[in-house]
Amino acid sequence: MVRDVLFPRGCAGCDRPDTVLCEDCLHMFSGCRERILGGEPMVRVWSAAIYQGLVRHAVLGWKDHDDVELDTPLMHVVAEVTKHGLLHCLDRAANVYDGNAAVAVIPVPSSSASIRRRGRYHTLPLAYAVASALRSDGINARVSRLLVHTAGGRKSVQQISPAQRMQRVSGHIVANARIEAYGAGDGAVLVDDIVTTGATLKECAYALRRQGISVLGAIVLADAVVPRYDDDCNG
């Protein structure tokens, strides 16, 4: 393509020429780590990688620099984490396998200012990939934008402290009006790009619990906390 000649691209991780995400960098997203956000409600989070180095570079390029060509490989990443993490741990007897049940796959909301700045709801493609992976296992899953972020735009996650992060989201994630059309008591799966302190995911879980909806788990691309033990989902 003429575009590729005039504006050649490199790997989003290592900048290797003529590839969106090279095999080596994609392999860095092939993990499956579980982290438990304690408290009430508890949230189990599965991630594909540690948020550092080339992984961080690739995620930031996709998230904040409009590298939409990364949608496809990153959708594959979260689908694999769903299969080997969340689905691996779900009880086959759980009510989510009931043909009448419905699981909402909810992209974690960004503020309206962030969405305007990026020009899109960047976690939405990931949510569709997670829903597809759940359906392939017999779960009636659908993407639902049930949560909204009511706060204004703030500094990046990378620029604020854990306390500031908690303050930024506390009370600012709420269920929208369409929640009434969603059956209370069915499960939900949260989908986000990265997890740092876990404050946002916990706030989402609080908002859903107030509507009688439990969170089955959360799927993210990367975790900013380096594990001190082997917590591979397949281990």
Chain centroid offset of residue 66 CA: 17
CA distance linking residue 112 with residue 119, whole number of Å = 10
pLDDT value, residue 28: 96
Largest CA distance in the chain: 55
With a CB cutoff of 8 Å and minimum separation 6, the contacts of 120 are 68
pLDDT digits (tens, 9 = 90+) for 35-66: 999 988 999 999 999 999 999 999 999 998 88
The angle formed by the CA atoms of residues 183, 40 and 88, to the nearest 5 degrees, is 65
Ramachandran angles phi, psi of 145, nearest 5°: -90, 70
Task: Tell me the domains of the chain and their CATH numbers.
Answer: 9-223 (3.40.50)
pLDDT value, residue 219: 98
Using the Cα atoms of residue 149, residue 117, residue 178 and residue 107 in order, give the sign of their dihedral.
negative
Ramachandran angles phi, psi of 139, nearest 5°: -95, 135
Computed on alpha carbons and rounded to an integer, the radius of gyration of the chain in Å comes to 17
Structure tokens at 152: 């204004």
The β-bridge relationship of strands 173-175 and 147-149 is antiparallel
pLDDT value, residue 94: 80
User: Which residues in the chain land under pLDDT 70?
Assistant: 1-7, 152-171, 177-185, 227-235
Going by C-alpha positions, the residue among 64, 149, 167, 138 that lies closest to residue 111 is: 149
The type of residue at 148 is: V
What is this structure's pTM? 0.86
CA distance linking residue 40 with residue 116, whole number of Å = 33
pLDDT value, residue 115: 72
Residue 187 · residue 213 · CB < 8 Å: yes
pLDDT value, residue 184: 46
CA distance linking residue 227 with residue 41, whole number of Å = 22
Q: What is the DSSP letter of 127?
A: H
With a CB cutoff of 8 Å and minimum separation 6, the contacts of 70 are 12, 20, 21, 58, 61, 62
pLDDT value, residue 155: 45
pLDDT value, residue 153: 52
pLDDT value, residue 178: 62
